[in-house]
Structure 1
Amino acid sequence: MQEFDKKIISVISQDPEEILIHLNEFKELMLYYKSAIREVRTKLEVLNDDISIKNQRNPIQFVKSRLKKPSSIAQKLRRRGLEISTQSIRENLTDVAGIRVVCSFVDDIYDIAEMLELQDDIKIIEVKDYIKNPKPNGYSSLHLIVEIPIYLSQKKECIKLELQIRTIAMDFWASLEHQMKYKKTMKEAPEIIKELKKCADKIYQIDEHMLKIRKKIEKLDISEDNTYF
C-alpha cells in the first residue's frame, strides 16, 4: 500500500470495512478538487494572455496551487469538533484546494477578481479584502472563496476553492512571515514580528508608488502615440 493511502486511512477510519469505502470516496473527492484547480488555472491563463495582448503587459506574474494534506484536513475538522468524513469536508472546509495568484500591481488584483466574477460559471461565495483592511500583523492579500462546476464522465460537481491574489511584494512578505509561525518560541520572535509589521507598511507604500509610476509611463506612451496623427 502506498504511503499516501496509509495516511488517508489513518485519518479517516480504523474500521477495516469502512476503510475501503472512505478511501475511495476520499480519492474521488480529491479528484474533484484537483479538477477545480485545473479549471481555474486555465481561466487565469486565458485572462492573462488576453490582457497581455490588449495592454501590452502581463498582469499575472505566476500562479501556484496546492491541495491540503489528508492529515491537515483531519486536524482542521478535529479542531472544529466536526466529523471526519468526505461529506463533512465538502460542507465545512473551503480551503482544501487553494490557488495563489501573484500580480504585478495592486489594481491588477482587483481587475482579475472582477473578471473572474463576471464569468458565468464562477460563483463568488466570500470575499476577504486584507489589502484594504490588512491583518494586525501586516498581512495583505485578497481572498476569494469561489465555487466552480467540473464536468465528469457521468455528472457535474460544484466545488469550492480558495483564491489568494496578491502582489509580488505581498507574496515575498507572506513567505517570510510564514516561516515565523514555526519559530515563535525564539527569544527574538517578538522583535522580528515588529520588524515584519514595519516591512508590511513599507510594502504597501511601495506598491502604491509603483502603481503611480506605471500609470505615468502609460500616459507618456499615449502622448507619444498621438504625435503620429
Structure 2
Amino acid sequence: MILEKNNFPNFEEAKQELNEIMDSESADNIIEIANYFQLCQAATNAVGARLENLDTDYQINSSHNPIHHMEERMKSMESLSGKMKRKNLEFTYDNLVNNIYDIGGLRVITNYPEDVYTVANALTSHPGIKILKKRDYIAKPKENGYRSLHIVLEVPVYLQDGIRHTAPVEVQIRTIGMDLWASLEHKLKYKTNIPAEELEQYSQQLKENSDELNQVEMSMENIFTKINQKSSLIHN
C-alpha cells in the first residue's frame, strides 16, 4: 500500500513564479530553504523508520520493550522564523543550516529511566548515524527540574541525484513521567497568563515534583528489575 502524499510544489516552477514578484537572490534563498526542509523531513523519516524497526524487534525478541510510544514532528515555518528572530539571525538558508538543528525531531517515550539509555544506545549504534550534540538533562537536570536526553543526529539521506546528503535530526528521549511533567511545565510557561507571583509558586512546586517523580521512577524501576531477575531464574 502506498501512503497518501502531500502535494509538494515543484521548486523549479515555483522559482520562476517567485522571480516575477521578487529579486532572483531572494527567490533562490526561498528555494534553498524549501529543499533543505525537505531534506530534514527525509532524515526525520529515516530515524523514525529506524525506531519503528527497533520497536518491532523489542516486541518480538525481548522480554521487555523499552519504547512506550514515539512522536514525530517538523517545525513550522512560523516556528523557525520565531527561533531565528530570538537568535537575532536573518532568515536565510546559510543561517538555517549553520544554527538550527531541530527542524525535524522525534520524541521517544520510555517506561523507565534506564530505558532511555537503552533506546539511545540502540539508535546511535547504526553505522550511518553520527552524534552531533548530546545533552543529558537526566543525569544533570535543568534548574527548573526538566529531565530528558537530547541527541542531535547527523543522518544520511539519498535523493534522486544519488548523492549522499546529510541533515540533522533532534531526538528527545524521556520517560512517561518526565513527559507528563514537561507538558505541564510547558503549559505553565507558554500557555497561561497568570500573575508573576503565582507563576513562581507553581514553578517551585513543579521543581519539587520533578525530584519526587525521579525518586518514584527509580524505585519502580528497581522493583521491575528485581521481578525480571526472579522471572528469568524461574524460566531457566
Q: Which amino acid aligns with 1:70?
A: M
Cross-structure match for 1:111: 118
Identify unmatched segments of 5+ residues in structure 2.
1-8, 10-20
Q: Tell me if structure 2 keeps the 8 A contact 1:52–1:59.
A: no
Give the counterpart of 1:209 among 216, 219, 233. Answer: 219
Matches within 5 A, 1:109-188: 109-154=116-161, 155-182=163-190, 183=192, 185-186=194-195, 187-188=197-198
Distance in 1 (CA, whole Å) between partners of 2:47 and 2:159 is 16
Q: Is the 8 A contact 1:130 1:139 kept in 2?
A: yes
Task: Give the corresponding residue for 1:218.
Answer: 228
Which residue of structure 2 aligns with residue 192 of structure 1? 202
Q: Which runs of 5+ in 1 are unaligned?
A: 6-14
1:41 aligns to what? 48
Q: Aligned pairs, how many?
A: 214
Aligned to 2:23: 17
Runs of 4+ off more than 6 Å: none
Kept in 1, the 8 Å contact 2:40–2:103? The answer is yes
TM norm structure 1: 0.87
Amino acid at match of 2:168: K
Instruction: Tell me if the contact between 2:58 and 2:65 (Cα under 8 Å) persists in the aligned partners.
Output: yes
CA deviations on 1:142-191 (whole Å, 9 max, x unpaired) are 01011001110003210011111000000000000000112364241111
Query: What is the TM-score with the length of structure 2 in the denominator?
Result: 0.85
Aligned equivalents of 1:135, 1:36: Cα separation in 2: 28
- Secondary structure of the residue aligned to 1:34 is helix
Equivalent-residue separation in structure 1 for 2:145 and 2:216 (angstroms):
14
Partners of 1:111 and 1:58 in 2: how far apart? 10
CA contact (8 A) 2:66 2:118 kept: no
User: For 2:223, what is the secondary structure of its paired residue?
Assistant: helix
> Could you tell me which of 54, 67, 90 is aligned with 2:61?
54
Q: Does structure 1 conserve the Cα–Cα contact (< 8 Å) formed by 2:43 and 2:155?
A: yes
Distance in 2 (CA, whole Å) between partners of 1:21 and 1:160 is 22
Query: In structure 2, what is the equivalent of residue 93 of structure 1?
Result: 100
